[in-house]
Structure 1
Amino acid sequence: MSQTEENLLPRERLTTVSGADAGKIARAAFVGTVLEWYDYFLFGTAAALVFNRLFFTELDQTAALLASFATFGVGFAARPIGAILFGWIGDKVGRRPALLVTIVMIGVATGLIGVLPDFGSIGLAAPIMLAVLRLVQGLAVGGEWGGAVTMAVEHAPAEKRGRFAALVQIGSPVGTLLSSGAFAVVLLLPAETFDAWGWRVPFLLAFPLLLVALYIRVKVEESPIFKDLMAEEETSKVPAVEVFRFAWKRLIVATLSALLGVGGFYMITTFVVSYGSNTLGVDRQIMVNATLIAAVAQIFVTVIAGRFSERIGPGIVTMWGGILTGLAAFPLFWLIDTKSPLAITLAITIGIMLVTIAYAVSGALLAELFPAKLRYSGVAMGYNIAGATSGFLPLIATAMLTISNNASWGAAIILVAISLLTAIGGFFGERLRVSDKPIVVDA
């Protein structure tokens, strides 16, 4: 570690945190993450099943699907910008105000998608407006997850950070269950009704979900570690610049370790749902139901991996999650290619469980890669650079189908590549971890 980087590490702080308060903060962070993943996975499912037909109707089937996934990817491209913006707010003004703004932006943008006219009503303006709302989603999510993890970790006892950070990650499968469940219900409608208004209902549900999440978030107190930074005037003037200047190695490691949790998830959900229904001709209800079952399994894996990371370290858990997912990539797609509903459900469930091993501990690992004064920015930037990179993977995998004559080996190669990169990130991440300690717990 260089002398400059060492100077960025936090001085020891004595912060008193009650177990009840730590749990309260983690649950509030969890609720926001539920809304985040509900919105993002909802858009991914709609990109595979709806937007290609209703918003890009003048294109042929393949081009429309590619355009739909490109719009899906726009949100990921905006996430690093959101990470820099809200990272500045979170590290300079406060974690709490940043989280309140991001959750409102996410909920409002998602709800407005539910009232968008389609291409048949207003022509080219429809996909443009869809892309703009996706851009707003991306900016907000760029600051949401990093802030949620930072708040949960900074309120948690040092020896229990793994489980509290994992609680935030459970927001992913719960958000998936809500979004997939909503889509599974509206898919029961006649095709004409679904296209006319049924698909809009899950998006409109974002409004009441936002009210619940905002009510809980408003009651959350500021991070005690950030309060110490403010009291001692140790906040960074331009956090993103300092991350690039003094903690760039940590940023690279953070990005690598987060790749699989984001990119692998969307490969096994968004891409596979599209591949199964549009390429293999499997009923789309089967594909969506498989993601529901996988989400339930994901909850249990998240809890177990979070606890396990407290014993051996989140970096080690990340490394093995990457290795196991890489080994399973080709067999998983071979199962999907059988077109058997049981095999597809098994493949998606196992795939999500393997990806979750790394994802479950991302919060704990990334938070401990960066010192407190740069934590919000560093965590948000690392996670969302990974998101911007991997958000276009469904698009790339779909494009590769034209090269491979609709064979799945291209998608399997992509999954292997990001799995190995995440394994490398976990290996080095375990050796770079820092923490704010000691933290005293009031039982």
Structure 2
Amino acid sequence: MVSISANTAVADDVHAHSHEEKRKNAIKGAFFSEYIDMFDIYLPVVVLSPVLFYFQPPNLSTATETILASLVFITTLLGRPLGALLFGIVADKLGRRKASIYSVSGFGVVTLLIALLPGYQTLGVGAYILLVVLRFIDGIFLGGGYTGAMPLAIEYSKKEKRGFVGGLIIAGFPAAYVSINLVTMLMFALFPLSGMDSPYAQWGWRIPFVIGALMAAGLALYYVYKVSESEVWQSESGEIRQKVPLHDLLKGKSARNLLQVLIMMSGFWLTQNIITIFLPTGVLLHTLHLSGFEMTATLIISYSVLFFSYIGSGLLGQKIGRRRFFVIVGPLIATLGAAILWALLHVPNLSLPTIMLLVCLLAVLVTSPWGVIVTYINERFVTDVRATGFGLGFSLSVILPSFYAFYMEWLSALMPFNLTAVVLLVLGGLIGTVGALMGPETKDVDFSTH
């Protein structure tokens, strides 16, 4: 009898250790999936922007150059919702792990193909067309990269740790941004850029793309050999997994949940875009006239701070509740955040340390919801549609806020242009708050019954 009890205890210990190992591996996989996803997303913005002339006809007007440059980034964004839908369905029907392996392998291959692209001198306008097409395809795979990985990690997390895990996963974004800037600075130092025939223009820019492709290959192998399928997903009956997730998402309770998430996320994407896209060029470069080095240093410091603030937001959301967190932070973004942005745009003669401090405060406040968002959206959907719901809720909501520059242009007919970004920040904070108020608290959701 004693022997049987001892054997049972040993078996329980082995099972517990195995489950803990699966949990850690799933969380690591989700963090690196976010890190590599963001590394690849920002490759054209940071690495390729200085040499887009390599792919374009010579002697273009400034307006045409701006449009062509924006297409490289926008096509990736447009591919993300499609990827979230396709790979969300794969994750809900075939498993989170398979969706992660397929999507990561896909964007690794496409990123490598971009690194091998010839320029305008070789292929003419076909070089630019190939770049845009590959970035669109890359966006599809990138959109699927986190659709499987993040639900898998959240489903493996203990209920009381889900807030920390969500914050840690999204911290992969600022970590990637800092990394890609440091890699690019190294490339510029090793391979100077001085015209079409310079080392950076011919092949220096290709090295970060190869690094991104190799990291994706490593992550795919990690999921193959180290990450186990979600036990929560496996516990669903085969009959449920045969359903079409999109059909269930568009009716009944799941449809209402998706609508609520889309409204909330549209608000927080709008505030996020003001900080991550408009702030660097519209504020730091064109309004405050920082040098390239000063702007890069300011952004690297602020993104380094964000790595820790995202984790802190996740922990705070776990303590006080995700919904309450959004309802508190949304109005703060619309008031305090808007005041800080107004100061950066209108107060003259700010010193560089003051600018750095204000940018850090603004970035921490305005982007703080993202430390809670990953966990919250996963908790809003039942298991059989969770990956599809998370993917669409996260990615589809980015489309309307991505046209923030057009909204600023329209608003400039009614007010000074520099005030338009402040107004959009207020609107985004309020929309995010309204969206959060439309939904329930989720921190006590039990995945085994949800």
Q: TM-score range by the shorter chain?
A: 0.7 to 0.9
**Paired letter, 2:338:** A
The structure-2 alpha-carbon separation of the partners of 1:432 and 1:214, relative to structure 1 and needing over 3 Å to count, comes to closer
Q: What is the TM-score normalised by the length of structure 2?
A: 0.84
The match for 2:290 among 282, 298, 308 is 282
Counterpart for residue 198 of structure 1: 204
| 1-structure distance, mates of 2:164, 2:97 | 21
Counterpart for residue 275 of structure 2: 268
Shift of 1:53: 7.9
Counterpart for residue 213 of structure 1: 219
Shift of 1:201: 2.6
| 2-structure distance, mates of 1:181, 1:410 | 32
The structure-2 alpha-carbon separation of the partners of 1:44 and 1:417, relative to structure 1 and needing over 3 Å to count, comes to farther
The structure-2 alpha-carbon separation of the partners of 1:203 and 1:399, relative to structure 1 and needing over 3 Å to count, comes to farther
The structure-2 alpha-carbon separation of the partners of 1:276 and 1:66, relative to structure 1 and needing over 3 Å to count, comes to farther
Contact 1:166–1:360 under 8 Å retained in 2: yes
Instruction: Please list, as runs of the form range in 1=range in 2, the aligned pairs for 1:363-442 lying within 5 A after superposition.
Output: 363-393=374-404, 395-396=405-406, 407-431=417-441, 435-437=445-447
Secondary structure of the residue aligned to 2:368 is helix
| 1-structure distance, mates of 2:162, 2:66 | 41
| 1-structure distance, mates of 2:181, 2:342 | 21
Contact 2:71–2:132 under 8 Å retained in 1: no
The match for 2:244 among 238, 253, 275 is 238
Shift of 1:417: 2.2
The structure-2 alpha-carbon separation of the partners of 1:123 and 1:249, relative to structure 1 and needing over 3 Å to count, comes to same
Counterpart for residue 98 of structure 1: 99
Instruction: Please list, as runs of the form range in 1=range in 2, the aligned pairs for 1:18-417 lying within 5 A after superposition.
Output: 18-46=19-47, 49-51=50-52, 55=56, 57-188=58-189, 190-192=192-194, 193=198, 194-218=200-224, 219-230=226-237, 233-246=239-252, 247-259=254-266, 262-275=269-282, 279-280=286-287, 281-327=289-335, 328-332=337-341, 334-335=343-344, 341-393=352-404, 395-396=405-406, 407-417=417-427
The structure-2 alpha-carbon separation of the partners of 1:57 and 1:308, relative to structure 1 and needing over 3 Å to count, comes to farther
Question: Which protein is bigger by CA-based radius of gyration?
Answer: 2
| 2-structure distance, mates of 1:274, 1:144 | 28
**Paired letter, 1:369:** R
Q: Percent identity?
A: 24
| 1-structure distance, mates of 2:180, 2:411 | 27
Unaligned stretches of 5+ residues in structure 1? 1-14
The structure-2 alpha-carbon separation of the partners of 1:97 and 1:270, relative to structure 1 and needing over 3 Å to count, comes to same
Shift of 1:434: 7.5
Contact 1:371–1:434 under 8 Å retained in 2: no
**Paired letter, 1:178:** S
Q: Which structure is higher in RCO with an 8 Å CA cutoff and minimum separation 6?
A: 1
Shift of 1:135: 0.7
The structure-2 alpha-carbon separation of the partners of 1:399 and 1:133, relative to structure 1 and needing over 3 Å to count, comes to farther
Shift of 1:438: 5.5
The structure-2 alpha-carbon separation of the partners of 1:132 and 1:41, relative to structure 1 and needing over 3 Å to count, comes to same
| 1-structure distance, mates of 2:410, 2:362 | 20
The structure-2 alpha-carbon separation of the partners of 1:373 and 1:314, relative to structure 1 and needing over 3 Å to count, comes to same
Aligned residues: 423
The structure-2 alpha-carbon separation of the partners of 1:412 and 1:239, relative to structure 1 and needing over 3 Å to count, comes to same
Secondary structure of the residue aligned to 2:116 is coil
| 2-structure distance, mates of 1:336, 1:51 | 29
Range moving further from structure 2, 83-92 or 315-324: 315-324
- RMSD (CA atoms): 3.0
Deviations 1:237-269 (A, max 9, x none): 210121012222211222233335544444323
Shift of 1:36: 0.3
The structure-2 alpha-carbon separation of the partners of 1:181 and 1:265, relative to structure 1 and needing over 3 Å to count, comes to farther
Runs of 4 or more above 6 Å deviation = 400-406
The structure-2 alpha-carbon separation of the partners of 1:405 and 1:116, relative to structure 1 and needing over 3 Å to count, comes to farther
| 1-structure distance, mates of 2:58, 2:360 | 33
Shift of 1:283: 2.5
| 2-structure distance, mates of 1:257, 1:123 | 44
| 2-structure distance, mates of 1:406, 1:206 | 41
**Paired letter, 2:334:** G
| 2-structure distance, mates of 1:111, 1:277 | 33
Contact 1:91–1:376 under 8 Å retained in 2: yes
Shift of 1:405: 11
Shift of 1:96: 0.6
Secondary structure of the residue aligned to 1:38 is helix
| 2-structure distance, mates of 1:69, 1:211 | 28
The structure-2 alpha-carbon separation of the partners of 1:387 and 1:75, relative to structure 1 and needing over 3 Å to count, comes to same
Shift of 1:362: 0.7
| 1-structure distance, mates of 2:308, 2:142 | 25
Contact 1:107–1:206 under 8 Å retained in 2: yes
The structure-2 alpha-carbon separation of the partners of 1:278 and 1:108, relative to structure 1 and needing over 3 Å to count, comes to farther
The structure-2 alpha-carbon separation of the partners of 1:402 and 1:420, relative to structure 1 and needing over 3 Å to count, comes to closer
| 2-structure distance, mates of 1:162, 1:182 | 31
Q: What is the TM-score normalised by the length of structure 1?
A: 0.85
Shift of 1:329: 2.9
